[in-house]
């Protein structure tokens, strides 16, 4: 039941995102980076697992550069054939290569799926989050695996989802495997959730 509710909500949120003018989506990236960098979870992090935004996702480009420029070790995902994620170090925008599904991935050596357990903070993509911190992703399960891997390893990095304004909802449908995030950042606000 919740699975079909998730699918309907995903479609609606993706429609709203696709209607966003590209210049508006891109411009919000600088504000998102500024607000995210105010978080203690990022300011004090030695290693951050992040991602390269695509399409109408909130832009992470400025944030990646600012983290790297501050000396933070930034890990980026590499999508594996089974939708799990490997990781590699971000070495700059000129070292990103095109991958399947329109994604950009780091060109450097692969560190293995367990590398994410070294992160102090994990930045997650999403379509929405609710006021309990429950994240709605795209449905591929890649980040559900990341959150489960962190739990199994006993790792407790801060988990932060990056969203557009208007994507923090009263409630998103959940399933048994879903895990809450600690915070959400939009271009205009930071939301914190009780764990």
Q: How far apart are CA 1 and CA 153, in angstroms?
A: 31
CB 172 within 8 A of CB 129: yes
Residue 181, judged by CB atoms within 10 A of its CB (0-12, 13-18, 19+), counts as buried
Around Cβ 62, how many Cβ atoms within 10 Å?
17
**Residue 140 known to bind ligand:** yes
pTM confidence score: 0.94
Does 10 appear as a known binding residue? yes
Name the domain count of the chain: 1
112 labelled binding-site residue: no
**pLDDT (tens digit per residue) in 87-128:** 999 999 999 999 988 899 999 999 999 999 999 999 999 999
Which of 175, 131, 182, 176 lies closest to 7 in space, CA to CA?
175
**For 2-12, what is each residue's pLDDT tens digit?**
778 899 999 99
- Domain membership of residue 112 as a residue range: 2-192
CATH of the domain at 10: 3.40.50.10420
Q: Is 102 left (phi over 0), alpha (psi -120 to 50) or beta?
A: left
Q: Per residue in 46-59, pLDDT tens?
A: 999 999 998 889 99
């Amino acid at each position: 039941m919740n699975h079909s509710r998730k699918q309907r909500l995903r479609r609606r949120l993706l429609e709203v995102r696709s209607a966003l003018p590209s210049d508006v989506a891109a411009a919000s990236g600088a504000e998102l980076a500024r607000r995210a960098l105010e978080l203690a979870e990022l300011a004090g992090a030695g290693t951050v697992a992040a991602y390269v935004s695509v399409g109408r996702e909130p832009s992470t480009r400025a944030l990646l550069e600012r983290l790297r420029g501050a000396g933070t070790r930034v890990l980026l995902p590499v999508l594996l054939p089974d939708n799990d994620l490997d990781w590699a170090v971000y070495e700059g925008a000129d070292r990103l290569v095109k991958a399947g599904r329109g994604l950009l991935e780091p060109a450097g050596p692969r560190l293995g799926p367990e590398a994410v357990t070294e992160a102090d903070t994990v930045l997650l993509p999403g379509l929405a989050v609710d006021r309990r911190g429950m994240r709605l992703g795209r449905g591929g399960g890649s980040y559900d695996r990341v959150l489960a891997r962190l739990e199994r390893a006993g790792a407790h990095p801060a988990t932060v989802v990056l969203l557009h304004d208007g994507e923090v909802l009263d409630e998103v449908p959940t399933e048994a495997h879903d895990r809450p995030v600690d915070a959400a950042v939009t271009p205009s606000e930071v939301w914190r959730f009780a764990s």
